[in-house]
Amino acid sequence: MPRPAGFRANSGCPRVESFYYQAGCLFITLKPTAQKPGALRVAVLRIHVAGLELEHPVMNASGILGSSPEALGRLARAGASALVTKSFTKEPREGYPTPIAVPLPYGLLNAVGLSNPGLEGLPSLVKAARRLGRPVIVSIAGSEPGEFAELAAAAEEAGAAAVELNLSCPHARGRGLELGMDPQTVGEIVAAVASTVKIPVLAKLGLVDRLVEAAGKALEAGARGLVLINTLRAMAIDVYAMRPVLGNRVGGLSGPAIHPVAVRAVYEVYREHNCDIIGVGGVEDWRSAAELILAGARAIQVGTAIVTRGEQVIDEIVKGLENYLNEVGVKSLEELVGAAHKQ
Ligand SMILES: Cc1cc2nc3c(=O)[nH]c(=O)nc-3n(C[C@H](O)[C@H](O)[C@H](O)COP(=O)(O)O)c2cc1C
């Protein structure tokens, strides 16, 4: 092609490949750039889960960078496919006395105590998060069905794409795991929320003896999907102070130590119910994410790894999964969901 008048091959600017003037206009050709971390571009990893369409399966776990618009903005820039808020309760909660978290060689022990601004702070955070252009999943925690329903209605009104019911926090008295360990109660809470809102309801369950039964009750009651698992009730003791390290004494263990437990939980629930699951627990690289997907998860949440390595771990996991799919010759992530059950 003949070069137009005024063609210049070198502008001196490193991003400009060539430029020229024609008919009073400046035409610029930019050099192709490497993919920016966080740019959503992974068609092969596109997945549907519980009524949500995601560009790829990787998002943050509740309680991790989910308390402020700035923190959620960091997650969006890091490429999270959905944004999950910190759990909201009806009343504001200050949280537990410090120390609220202690790093361990194999994970993290925390007892934050569900600190949050309460129902009043929910609409403004959700509205700000929506501007970031990703589905916003609002996590809520309560002590009885009516409280969950009220919070879910506020989340829907503010524009949430889904609500995640925290039925599994292991250190919140009268909330969380105390509710989630009783399948009947799980069913009642999910039913109250599902009959109040039209957006998808996700039930987040933790490590309980009757997990498969509780999962079944949640699905029967109208949950579109499950989030498995929360932290495990745990404790660390300072051997010189001779007392528990955490201000609340007991907390929740997360990170690599709980990953095999999460894989087992997802595997058993998927085998019984063949339902939509978001897997969470000790995901720190593409391999641990892939394990949860092969066990039956359609999407993945990342918590502790964001705390210990920064939010860029999200993009590392996404790229790693993409390479893995190419390596094993699979065109779509969909084909891998629950694949470990076929072997
Ligand atoms: C500091 C911290 C705060 C958390 N806060 C919440 C919360 O508010 N609601 C909730 O459902 N889970 C909460 N979790 C649990 C995580 O969402 C996740 O289920 C758990 O940490 C396991 O994932 P991980 O091993 O990737 O961290 C919290 C975890 C941590 C470490």
Domain count, the chain: 1
Residue 33 placed within a domain: no
SS3 97: coil
**Residue 331: both structure tokens together:** 């065109």
* Nearest CA residue ID for atom 6, ligand 1: 63
Choosing from 109, 139, 254, 311 the residue with most ligand 1 atoms within 8 A of its CB, the one to mutate for a pocket test is: 254
Residue 133 placed within a domain: yes
Q: Tell me, in angstroms, the distance from the centre of ligand 1 to residue 230's CA.
A: 6
**pTM score of the predicted model:** 0.88
Per-residue pLDDT of the chain (343 residues; tens, 9 = 90+): 444 444 444 545 554 555 555 555 455 554 444 444 444 444 599 999 999 999 999 999 999 999 999 999 999 999 999 999 999 999 999 999 999 999 999 999 999 989 999 999 999 999 999 999 999 999 999 999 999 999 999 999 999 999 999 998 888 777 788 888 999 999 999 999 999 999 999 999 999 999 999 999 999 999 999 999 999 999 999 999 999 999 999 999 999 999 999 999 999 999 999 999 999 999 999 999 999 999 999 999 999 999 999 999 999 999 999 999 999 999 999 999 999 999 7
Residue 333 placed within a domain: yes
In 31-154, DSSP assigns E strands to 47-49, 52-54, 58-60, 83-84, 101-104, 107-110, 136-140
Residue 28 placed within a domain: no
State which ligand 1 atom lies nearest to the alpha carbon of 101: 1
Is 255 part of any known ligand binding site?
yes
Residue 163 placed within a domain: yes
Residue 9 placed within a domain: no
Q: Are 59 and 84 in contact (CB under 8 A)?
A: yes
Residue 132 placed within a domain: yes
CATH number of 218's domain? 3.20.20.70
**Catalytic residue list:** 169
C-alpha 43/C-alpha 221 separation (Å) is 33
Pairing of strands 25-30, 16-22: antiparallel
Residue 235 placed within a domain: yes
Domain hosting residue 317, numbered range: 50-341
